[in-house]
Amino acid sequence: MGEVTITVNGRPYRMACEDGQEPHLRGLGADLANRVQELAGQVGKVGDAQLLVMAALIAADEAQVASTAGGGAGDDEAVRSLMAERDALIAERDAALAALDAAEAAARKRPNTTAAEAALATAQKARDALAADLARAEAARQALLAERDALKAAEADATATIADLTGRVAKLARSLTPA
């Protein structure tokens, strides 16, 4: 078992942890110490327990907002994946159009040829299918971009709400502090 000492608001706290988790726990402790120090500056003189509860509530709120928001990095990866798929479909479409142009040119050279007409019809069907696939991929990309923008707006709203709640908690804590 590993052990780490974390100092929060000038007081040391010894914490046990799994071996190898010490750096992670130190990082979490530093984050908590910074949060408590920031709160102490905002609310004034309150007890350590109250500061720790306030910091824990803010961290829990941020975690809840982050889990509700869905994690934007995955959305960006999905958008990149769809864009790559769209680019591949465009390349396929361009190749099919080139084949269609070649089939049409061959059909013009040999009018009334059944094989040329069949090739032309097949190429046109392939072009239509690729165009439909491309339209679906583009619609999916647009939907993901809109969802990503909505998530960013929700994140901004959540950040504003956290700031408002932090101010309210600070005000409440000041009102509870004996004069």
148 and 80 both lie in a single domain: yes
Q: What is the pLDDT of residue 92?
A: 78
Segments forming the whole domain that contains residue 135: 72-155
Residue 176 belongs to some domain of the structure? no
Query: Does the global pTM surpass 0.85?
Result: no
13 and 64 both lie in a single domain: yes
pLDDT in tens, 146-165: 888 888 888 888 888 888 88
pLDDT in tens, 104-150: 777 667 666 677 677 777 777 877 887 788 788 888 888 888 888 88
Residue 171 belongs to some domain of the structure? no
Across 125-151, b (16+ Cβ under 10 Å) vs e yields ebbeebeebbeebeeebeebeeebeeb
Three-state SS letters, 27-58:
HHHHHHHHHHHHHHHHHCCCCHHHHHHHHHHH
18 and 76 both lie in a single domain: no
Separation in Å, CA 178 to CA 43, 49, 166, 173: 12, 16, 20, 10
77 and 133 both lie in a single domain: yes
Mean pLDDT across the chain: 78
Q: 116 with 107: CB under 8 angstroms?
A: yes
15 and 63 both lie in a single domain: yes
Q: 98 with 53: CB under 8 angstroms?
A: no
Which CATH number belongs to the domain containing residue 95 in this structure?
1.10.287
